[in-house]
Amino acid sequence: MGQGVDADMSGGSIFMVAGEASGDLHGSRLALELKRLAPNCRLAGIGGPKMRDAGVELIYSLEDFAFLGFSEVVRHLPFIFSVYRELDRLFEQNPPDAVVLIDYPGFNIRLAKKLNKKNIPILYYISPQVWAWQPHRARLISRLVDRLVVVLPFESEFYRRRTGRRPHFVGHPLLEVVRSDTSRKEFCSRWQLHPDRPIIGLLPGSRPQEIEHLLPDMLAAVRRLQRKTPSLQAAVGALSTVPEERYHQLAGSCSDRTALVIDAPYELMRHARLLLVASGTATLEAAIVGTPMVILYRMSLLSWLLARAMVKVPYIGLVNLVAGRKIVPELVQHQVSPSRVALEARPLLQESSRRQSMIEDLSEIRQRLGRKGASRRTARLVLSLIEEGG
């Protein structure tokens, strides 16, 4: 199946699939490393602007997959099945030497079944979090893929216990990308913030539905906090996967313009005193930076009821799962109210023992995530898979 990569590492053709902003980020880093190791490799797939800029020819874009939760997915089923049919046609006409699936389990596990029948080698990068919702599917994934790559420290042992097969733990790729060299003075000057006043950062998620579910209550909580701390400044961290005007529509809907909208989320994480964060990858990013946070999560009622029945872990925040205990407060569904968010945030804005304890715990989390270089290690696994022909 593979074209045989020698020391020159031609790399062959590699198809990559990412359906979310975090997958686009990590897919782009992986694509750059593949190009460095195998300059002549051909990259195509499903992803976002970062993967495209890294040299991946996109068959479908990330925006096509911007839906969240079970009920939203049901409405998009005709589109999803049309994508499967198109990929099936492409793989029949010109099968790639390897396929790299990046997280996004609802789509990628089904695709893996199709690829497996065609004997196309598969590497699953950032293994699905089946330990959270369907532990029994660990065996299925292990059987379907040729290489399984995990990025959280406890996942390797989880798969070993469930399948008898130990996956490749490469460390977390966020360690490569979460950084900001901008000084506080430069950051505040750029965004017209006062350097001597505290900043609260709002990170409402990477999908439009998340933002609409969370940002209004985040802003209302900030106004409550500002009543007792008038010097408090607020800023919303915008992501490239969501049109910036959508943030402005929600943030600017308040007559007093509660928060600025800025497109520098890592700089905001670094210079904020506290973060209000949608559950997801951003909680680990904040942990790497070391900034205290409150985790928020809300989805449609139907999706939430289904999630409650399926989820098998005690916490929703990745940072708490890595810690093995609740080091960061989590507010879920009806708990996400302006008064409750403000209640949890207030002591973390102050010089308190609770704040200092969280800072120390977040430092420990960063150490648990492994060493930098996850993308390079994963690229070598992809190329070795091609060399071995699956």
Identify the pLDDT of residue 212: 87
CATH number (domain holding residue 102): 3.40.50.2000
CA end-to-end distance (rounded Å), the chain: 7
Identify the pLDDT of residue 205: 87
- Is residue 106 situated within a structural domain? yes
* pLDDT higher than 90, residue 76: no
Burial of 293 (0-12, 13-18, 19+ CB in 10 A): buried
- Is residue 5 situated within a structural domain? no
Judge if pTM exceeds 0.75: yes
Higher local confidence (pLDDT), 289 or 11: 289
- Give tens-digit pLDDT for 214-236: 999 999 999 999 999 999 999 99
Q: Are residues 134 and 249 in the same domain?
A: no
Q: Are residues 209 and 62 in the same domain?
A: no
Compute the distance between CA of residue 28 and CA of residue 6 in angstroms, rounded to an integer.
24
- As a whole number, mean pLDDT of residues 341-368 equals 96
Q: Are residues 162 and 239 in the same domain?
A: no
Q: Which amino acid is at 338?
A: P
- Is residue 29 situated within a structural domain? yes
Helix axes 338-349, 208-228, angle to 10 degrees: 60
- As a whole number, mean pLDDT of residues 206-216 equals 85
- Give tens-digit pLDDT for 234-288: 999 987 667 777 777 776 654 456 788 888 999 999 999 999 999 988 999 999 9
Looking at 302-346, which runs of residues are DSSP E strands?
Answer: 330-332
Identify the pLDDT of residue 180: 84
- Is residue 3 situated within a structural domain? no
Q: Which of 138, 97, 85 is nearest to 121 (CA)?
A: 97
Q: How confident is the model at residue 347 (pLDDT cuts 50, 70, 90)?
A: very high
Whole-number average pLDDT of the chain? 88
What domain range is 377 assigned to?
Answer: 13-173+373-387
Q: Are residues 195 and 303 in the same domain?
A: yes
Q: How confident is the model at residue 128 (pLDDT cuts 50, 70, 90)?
A: confident
Q: Of the ranges 6-15, 17-26, 284-293, which is most confident?
A: 284-293
Query: For the chain, what percent of residues have pLDDT higher than 90?
Result: 69
Q: Are residues 267 and 333 in the same domain?
A: yes
Q: Are residues 34 and 153 in the same domain?
A: yes
- Is residue 313 situated within a structural domain? yes
- Is residue 6 situated within a structural domain? no
- As a whole number, mean pLDDT of residues 324-340 equals 95
Higher local confidence (pLDDT), 170 or 106: 170
Q: Are residues 339 and 256 in the same domain?
A: yes
Ranking 9-13, 67-71, 179-183, 208-212 by mean pLDDT, the lowest is: 67-71
- Is residue 178 situated within a structural domain? no
Identify the pLDDT of residue 158: 92
185-194: long-range contacts (C-beta < 8 A, 24 or more apart)? 187/264, 187/267, 187/270, 187/271, 188/271, 190/264, 191/235, 191/260, 191/262, 191/264, 192/260, 193/233, 193/235, 193/260, 194/231, 194/233
- Is residue 54 situated within a structural domain? yes
Q: Are residues 190 and 254 in the same domain?
A: yes
Identify the pLDDT of residue 304: 62
* pLDDT higher than 80, residue 295: yes
Identify the pLDDT of residue 219: 94
How many domains are contained in the chain? 2
Ranking 51-55, 72-76, 346-350 by mean pLDDT, the lowest is: 72-76
- DSSP 8-state class, residue 97: S
Q: Are residues 49 and 114 in the same domain?
A: yes
Compute the distance between CA of residue 100 and CA of residue 171 in angstroms, rounded to an integer.
17
- As a whole number, mean pLDDT of residues 153-178 equals 93
Compute the distance between CA of residue 79 and CA of residue 63 in angstroms, rounded to an integer.
13
Q: Are residues 278 and 339 in the same domain?
A: yes
* pLDDT higher than 90, residue 133: no
Higher local confidence (pLDDT), 80 or 167: 167
Identify the pLDDT of residue 3: 38
Q: Are residues 207 and 267 in the same domain?
A: yes
Identify the pLDDT of residue 390: 54
**Residue whose entry in the numeric block shows the structure tokens 């699953």:** 124
Sheet order of strands, 293-297 included = 260-262, 233-237, 199-203, 274-278, 293-297, 330-332
Q: How confident is the model at residue 72 (pLDDT cuts 50, 70, 90)?
A: low
Q: Are residues 28 and 127 in the same domain?
A: yes
